C-alpha cells in the first residue's frame, strides 16, 4: 500500500515517508524558497481541487497560493457545493474529478482513515491530506520540521516539547512520527484531561516546566474545543496559568530555544500575545515556509515522487 501511494504521489501522513523522502521535500522547498520565480507557472493549465469539508484559513490559503504559484487552475469544493449532499460517495467524487482532468486533490475533513481507504482504491488522482480529523496533518508537520531544520541545521537529537491538547491534535501525531524518523527527541506535556495514552507509549510525558527546561523548541498546540465532547478546561485564564507559554516560562527554556505554533493562535490562552512575534518565535516563518513545502508536495503529487 505504501509503495503504491509513494509511486502515485499520495501524501496521507508522515509515517509513509522515509527520512530520505522528507529530506528531498526539504531540499526542493529550499530551492523554491531561494528562487521562487524559477518555479512560477510550471504546471500552467493543469488542475488541482481543494476539498475542504472543515473550516480552515492557513492550510487552505497556503495550498491555494502554492497551486497558483505553480500555475495550476484551482477548483474549490466544500461540503455544501459537493454532490455528497445528494448522496454521491466520496470515491465517486474523486473519480469524477479525475475524469474531468484534475490531477491532485487536497482534502480536509473531519473523519479518520478515509484518505488511506481512497488511496487504496486507486481513484486515478493524487490525494494530499490537508488535515484529517484527529488523525494526521502531514504538510503541517513537514513545514514545522523544515522550519526547525533551517534554523538548527539538523533535526537529529533535537529536543522538541509538544505542549497542549495532545488527545485531539492531528498536528502532534504527524510531527511525532516525522521527528522520530529524524532521530529527534520529542517530549509531551499538557493538561491531564488532554493527555493521550497512545502517544505516551512511545514518547515521554513531562510536567510543563521540566519539558521547557530541556527544549530546543517548544510547539504550543491549539485547544481543539470543536473536538471536545465534554468540558476539559475550567476557563481560558486557568489554562494560561497552568499551561500557557508566558514570558516567565520562556525564560526557563535554554537561551537558544525557539517557539512554534501551528495556528490559529489563541493569544493569551496557549501563548501570550507578546510572544507570538517575539524574536525567538518562528510562527510566521512557519506560515511562509508552508507555501514552499506545499509547492514541493504538489510537485511530488503531480510527478509521482521527487
pLDDT digits (tens, 9 = 90+) for 220-248: 998 864 444 445 566 888 889 999 999 99
Which pTM value belongs to this model? 0.92
| C-alpha pair distances (Å), 10 with each of 101, 122, 155, 188, 193 | 17, 10, 25, 29, 34
pLDDT value for 54: 87
How far from the centroid of its chain's Cα atoms is residue 109's Cα? 14
Q: What is the mean pLDDT of the chain?
A: 90
Residue of 130, 166, 150 whose CA lies nearest to 13: 130
Chain position carrying cell 525564560: 251
CA 58/CA 11 separation, integer angstroms: 18
pLDDT digits (tens, 9 = 90+) for 3-15: 333 346 999 999 9
pLDDT value for 227: 46
CA 5/CA 270 separation, integer angstroms: 36
State residue 5 phi and psi, 5-degree precision: -65, -40
List the grid coordinates of 240: 494560561
List the grid coordinates of 291: 507555501
Summarize the confidence of residues 54-66 as an average pLDDT.
Answer: 93
CA 65/CA 294 separation, integer angstroms: 9
Residue of 6, 274, 293 whose CA lies nearest to 127: 6
Residue of 101, 50, 107 whose CA lies nearest to 76: 50
Residue of 93, 138, 90 whose CA lies nearest to 293: 138
Query: How many residues comprise the chain?
Result: 306
pLDDT digits (tens, 9 = 90+) for 138-181: 999 999 999 999 999 999 999 999 999 998 899 999 999 999 99
Amino acid at each position: 500500500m505504501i509503495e503504491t501511494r509513494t509511486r502515485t504521489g499520495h501524501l496521507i501522513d508522515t509515517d509513509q515517508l522515509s527520512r530520505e523522502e522528507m529530506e528531498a521535500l526539504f531540499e526542493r522547498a529550499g530551492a523554491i524558497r531561494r528562487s521562487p520565480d524559477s518555479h512560477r507557472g510550471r504546471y500552467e493549465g493543469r488542475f488541482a481541487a481543494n476539498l475542504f469539508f472543515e473550516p480552515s484559513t492557513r492550510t487552505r490559503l497556503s495550498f491555494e497560493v502554492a497551486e497558483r504559484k505553480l500555475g495550476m487552475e484551482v477548483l474549490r469544493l466544500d461540503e455544501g457545493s459537493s454532490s455528497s449532499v445528494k448522496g454521491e460517495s466520496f470515491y465517486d467524487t474523486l473519480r469524477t474529478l479525475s475524469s474531468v482532468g484534475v490531477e491532485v486533490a487536497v482534502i480536509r475533513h473531519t473523519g479518520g482513515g478515509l484518505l488511506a481507504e481512497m488511496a487504496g482504491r486507486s481513484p486515478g488522482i493524487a490525494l494530499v491530506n490537508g488535515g484529517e480529523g484527529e488523525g494526521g496533518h502531514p504538510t503541517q508537520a513537514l513545514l514545522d520540521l523544515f522550519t526547525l531544520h533551517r534554523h538548527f541545521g539538523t533535526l537529529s537529537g533535537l529536543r522538541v516539547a509538544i505542549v497542549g491538547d495532545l488527545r485531539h491534535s492531528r498536528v502532534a501525531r504527524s510531527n511525532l512520527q516525522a521527528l522520530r524518523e529524524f532521530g529527534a527527541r520529542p517530549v509531551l506535556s499538557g493538561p491531564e484531561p488532554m493527555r493521550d495514552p497512545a502517544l505516551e507509549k512511545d514518547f515521554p510525558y513531562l510536567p510543563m516546566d521540566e519539558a521547557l527546561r530541556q527544549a530546543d523548541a517548544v510547539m504550543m498546540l491549539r485547544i481543539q474545543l470543536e473536538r471536545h465532547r465534554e468540558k476539559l478546561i475550567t476557563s481560558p485564564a486557568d489554562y494560561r496559568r497552568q499551561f500557557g507559554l508566558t514570558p516567565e516560562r520562556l525564560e526557563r527554556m535554554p537561551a537558544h530555544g525557539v517557539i512554534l505554533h501551528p495556528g490559529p493562535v489563541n493569544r493569551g490562552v496557549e501563548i501570550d500575545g507578546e510572544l507570538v512575534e517575539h524574536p525567538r518565535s518562528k510562527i510566521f516563518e512557519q506560515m511562509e515556509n508552508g507555501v514552499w513545502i506545499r509547492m514541493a508536495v504538489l510537485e511530488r503529487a503531480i510527478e509521482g515522487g521527487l
